[in-house]
């Protein structure tokens, strides 16, 4: 009986170790999705490759406008210098995040973190009052 229990305990321990190893993420973060306050514009950030995707969810004639912080000292803050990126994307009838998006590739240092939020753009400029909430993302 004791020998059987020992083998079972060892088997369970080995299985648990394998499961933990397999569940570990391949990179520091995971995809972060952000939308503006009326869900007509979205941006996703994928840390595995440091890619941003811009998505237009509404046929309203407006594009996507993103504001992001450029953190200093590794601590994200809305008072840090900002980077603005906009795209005049067009609604293509799909609500799938990855359908017809524009990708902006960056090359961040592993562990680099920033905050970003999404608004709308019209005639190349930000449309006042359309920003959604801030989202933390890390490379």
Instruction: Give the Cα separation of 51 and 11 in Å (integer).
Output: 41
pLDDT tens digit string along 40-49?
999 999 999 9
* Any domain includes 2: no
Residue 13 lies in a domain: no
Query: By residue range, what is the domain housing residue 96?
Result: 27-138
In this structure, are residues 55 and 97 in contact, taking their beta carbons and an 8 Å threshold? yes
Q: Is the pLDDT of residue 34 over 50?
A: yes
Domain count, the chain: 1
What pLDDT was estimated at residue 111? 86
Cα 28 to Cα 9, 87, 133: the distances in Å are 32, 27, 22
In a domain, 59, yes or no: yes
The predicted-structure confidence for 80-133, as pLDDT tens digits, reads as follows 788 899 888 778 888 888 776 778 999 998 888 889 999 999 998 999 999 999
Measured between alpha carbons, how far is 107 from 130 in angstroms, rounded to an integer? Answer: 28
Residue 6 in domain: no
Choice between 75 and 81, residue whose per-residue pLDDT is larger? 81
User: Is position 46 within any domain?
Assistant: yes
> Quick check: is 132 in a domain?
yes
**pLDDT value of position 22:** 30
| Band of residue 62 on the pLDDT scale cut at 50, 70, 90 | very high
- 39 inside domain: yes
Arithmetic mean of pLDDT, 22-40: 71
- SS3 sequence of the chain: CHHHHHHHHHHHHHHHHHHHHHHCCCCCCCCEEEECCCCCEEEEEECCCCEEEEEECCCCCCEEEEEEECCECCECCCCCCEEEEEECCCCCCCCCCCCCCEEEECCCCCCCEEEEEEEEEECCEECCCCCCCCEEEEC
Quote the pLDDT of residue 73: 66
In a domain? residue 15? no
Q: Give the CATH number, domain containing residue 46.
A: 2.60.40
């Amino acid at each position: 009986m004791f020998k059987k229990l020992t083998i079972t305990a060892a088997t369970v321990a080995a299985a648990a170790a394998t499961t933990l190893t397999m569940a570990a993420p391949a990179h520091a973060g995971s995809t972060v999705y952000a939308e503006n306050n009326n869900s007509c514009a979205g941006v996703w950030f994928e840390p595995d490759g440091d890619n941003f995707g811009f998505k237009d969810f509404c046929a309203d004639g407006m594009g996507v406008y993103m504001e992001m912080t450029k953190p200093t000292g590794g601590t994200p803050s809305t008072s840090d210098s900002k980077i603005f990126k906009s795209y005049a994307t067009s609604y293509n009838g799909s609500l799938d995040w990855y359908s017809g998006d524009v990708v902006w590739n960056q090359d961040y240092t592993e562990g680099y973190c920033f905050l970003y939020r999404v608004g709308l753009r019209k005639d190349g400029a930000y449309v006042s009052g359309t920003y959604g909430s801030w989202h933390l993302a890390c490379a």
